[in-house]
């Protein structure tokens, strides 16, 4: 228990909504119901900040919240010292911090026991006035916590007034048991798709091509294609099987650490020097199984455990037999709602048994754009494959012989026409054979010469 008691007044805007008097060493402030000061607003994180009381020093530590913590109008950079009368702001909430000095209050009581009730009456009336007008805080804990009686272990590692690590042991579930189901579904789809595709490929396609060529040459009936035309569907099934098969492989490698370990190994939850630890690689400070957790500690560790309204030191747990011996360490089962403080060297671990946080957004919600894009792409590709199989066989075939005949007929019909047109454009010239002058002859040759044609006249084209 801390040496100082804090009186915290909570204002929502200008209205007083709550007043608390706390004496814990660590006071949690946030949206969680398990917080000592629960502030229900979107601007407040689930674990927003903590107030740590260490001797006469009181500090406020911001846990890396998005909106931050404001102290007396200035933003807190990691941590800051709190004094009597300071004001903290968390979104729309305002917290007025006051230190309660029990020794100073008790002294006037013995000096003037009769005047104390008279002085206390106005104070009680003044405190009761705003309490009667305040509105109660309405918090639905089911929005932030799982209210089914299960518990998780909250572990906060601190070095002085600096928060080094915060983890919730038992919050994540191990999904490795789902791996066989996904692997079986993906394997069946891949085997079925591969079988359909190989059945199509194994048909007598060479014989079909020979018969098709003979039918085209002879003009006979075309042969029927072998198979059932489902090769594309087989490829699609095989590709579809890759999706659940990949999920199965991911689930197969899923590993959730059910313990909070400290040490120097790579798999330790928090790395510390191994001196004084029974297992220097990874000593399980908190061991969990089915929402039941146990605190492990050594003789070199100091601290206390608070449960059922009482605070018991680690040494008293060992001496009273509540903590069982496990070799060179001790084990204490954590009851629900217990708060522990364990100091190892210069690091202090705060272990609290709290309700598990509700899942606000899962992996499916965060990866919706990715799955939407891949699903739409698969739908488009699958639709194209289906459309290719809906095309009739005759529509996609082309007879080269018919195309050659049509090409030849079109060529013969166009060539003469073009030649006649070209001939008609040229001028016609009548040419007569040229005869050499014949020598005078007698007899038969003279008679033939009489019938010879007269000398050739010059045509208009030749005169040109």
φ/ψ of residue 336, rounded to 5: -60, 135
Please, what is the average pLDDT of the chain? 76
Closest CA to 278 of 303, 302, 297, 258: 297
CA distance to 12, 312, 341, per residue, from 307 (Å)? 32, 8, 12
48-57, 98-107, 338-347, range with greatest mean pLDDT: 338-347
Closest CA to 76 of 51, 41, 53: 51
Say what the pLDDT of residue 156 is. Answer: 92
Name the pairing type of β-strands 270-271 and 259-263.
parallel
Task: Check pLDDT > 90 for residue 180.
Answer: no
pLDDT in tens, 210-223: 888 888 888 788 88
**Do 214 and 223 meet the contact criterion of CB atoms below 8 Å apart?**
no
Say what the pLDDT of residue 128 is. Answer: 45
φ/ψ of residue 407, rounded to 5: -70, -40
In this structure, the number of other CB atoms found within 10 A of the CB of residue 238 comes to 18
Q: Three-state SS for 97? A: strand
State how far the Cα of 276 lies from the Cα of 383, in Å rounded to an integer. Answer: 66
Average pLDDT of span 149-172 = 85
The radius of gyration of the chain's CA atoms, rounded to the nearest angstrom, is 49
Q: Which two tokens stand for residue 134?
A: 């305040």
State how far the Cα of 275 lies from the Cα of 306, in Å rounded to an integer. Answer: 27
Closest CA to 270 of 211, 350, 205: 350
Average pLDDT of span 157-179 = 83
> Judging by beta carbons within 10 Å of its beta carbon (0-12, 13-18, 19+), is residue 152 exposed, middle or buried?
buried
Task: Check pLDDT > 70 for residue 97.
Answer: yes
State how far the Cα of 69 lies from the Cα of 78, in Å rounded to an integer. Answer: 9
State how far the Cα of 53 lies from the Cα of 56, in Å rounded to an integer. Answer: 7
Q: Three-state SS for 165? A: strand
Q: Which of 164 and 365 is assigned the larger pLDDT?
A: 164
Write the CB contacts of 98 (distance below 8 Å, at least 6 apart in sequence): 6, 7, 8, 9, 84, 85
Helices (H), 172-273: 179-201, 205-218, 231-252
State how far the Cα of 48 lies from the Cα of 88, in Å rounded to an integer. Answer: 12
- Model confidence, pTM: 0.45
pLDDT in tens, 417-444: 544 455 555 555 555 555 555 555 555 5
Say what the pLDDT of residue 340 is. Answer: 92
Q: Which two tokens stand for residue 343?
A: 């100091």
Residue found under tokens 């007396």: 72
Task: Check pLDDT > 70 for residue 68.
Answer: yes
Task: Check pLDDT > 90 for residue 349.
Answer: yes
- Can you spell out the DSSP letters for 68-92? --EETTEE-SSEEE--TT-EEEETT
Say what the pLDDT of residue 442 is. Answer: 53
- Residue 458: which region, alpha, beta or left (left: phi > 0; alpha: psi -120 to 50)? beta
What stretch of H or E contains 54? strand 49-54
Percent of the chain residues topping a pLDDT of 90:
8
Q: Which of 150 and 335 is assigned the larger pLDDT?
A: 335
Banded pLDDT at 402 (limits 50, 70, 90)? low
């Amino acid at each position: 228990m801390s040496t100082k008691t804090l009186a915290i007044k909570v204002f929502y805007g200008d209205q007083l909504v709550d007043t608390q008097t706390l004496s814990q060493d660590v006071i949690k402030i946030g949206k969680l119901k398990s917080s000592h000061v629960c502030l229900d607003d979107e601007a407040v994180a689930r674990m927003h900040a903590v107030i740590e009381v260490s001797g006469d020093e009181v500090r406020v530590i911001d846990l890396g919240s998005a909106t931050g913590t404001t102290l007396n109008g200035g933003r807190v950079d990691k941590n800051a010292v709190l004094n009597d009368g300071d004001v903290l702001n968390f979104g729309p909430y305002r917290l007025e911090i006051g230190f309660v000095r029990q020794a100073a209050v008790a002294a006037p009581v013995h000096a003037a026991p009769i005047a104390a009730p008279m002085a206390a009456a106005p104070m009680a009336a003044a405190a009761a006035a705003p309490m009667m007008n305040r509105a109660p805080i309405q918090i639905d804990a089911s929005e932030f916590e799982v209210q089914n009686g299960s518990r998780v272990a909250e572990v906060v590692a601190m070095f002085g007034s600096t928060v080094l690590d915060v983890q919730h042991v038992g919050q994540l579930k191990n999904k490795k048991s789902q791996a066989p189901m996904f692997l079986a579904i993906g394997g069946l789809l891949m085997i079925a798709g591969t079988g359909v595709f190989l059945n199509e490929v194994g048909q007598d396609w060479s014989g079909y091509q020979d018969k098709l060529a003979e039918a085209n040459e002879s003009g006979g009936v075309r042969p029927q294609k072998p198979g059932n035309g489902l090769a594309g569907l087989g490829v699609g099934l095989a590709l579809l099987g890759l999706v659940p098969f990949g999920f199965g492989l991911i689930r197969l490698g899923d590993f959730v650490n059910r313990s909070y370990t400290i040490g120097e190994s790579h798999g330790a939850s928090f790395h510390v020097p191994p001196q004084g630890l029974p297992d220097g690689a990874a000593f399980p400070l908190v061991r969990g199984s089915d929402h039941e957790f146990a605190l492990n500690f050594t003789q070199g560790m100091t601290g206390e455990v608070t449960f059922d309204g009482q605070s018991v030191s680690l040494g008293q747990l060992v001496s009273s037999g509540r903590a069982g011996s496990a070799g060179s360490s001790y084990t204490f089962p954590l009851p629900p709602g217990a708060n522990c403080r364990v100091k190892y060297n210069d690091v202090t671990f705060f272990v609290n048994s709290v309700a598990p946080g509700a899942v606000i957004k899962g992996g499916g919600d965060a990866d919706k754009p990715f799955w939407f894009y891949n699903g739409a792409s698969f739908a488009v590709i699958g639709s194209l494959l289906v459309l290719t199989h809906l095309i009739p066989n005759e529509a996609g075939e082309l007879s080269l012989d018919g195309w050659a005949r049509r090409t030849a007929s079109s060529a013969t019909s166009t060539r003469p026409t073009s030649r006649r047109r070209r001939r008609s454009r040229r001028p016609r010239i009548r040419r007569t054979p040229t005869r050499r002058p014949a020598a005078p002859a007698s007899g038969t040759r003279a008679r033939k010469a009489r019938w010879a044609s007269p000398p050739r006249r010059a045509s208009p084209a030749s005169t040109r």
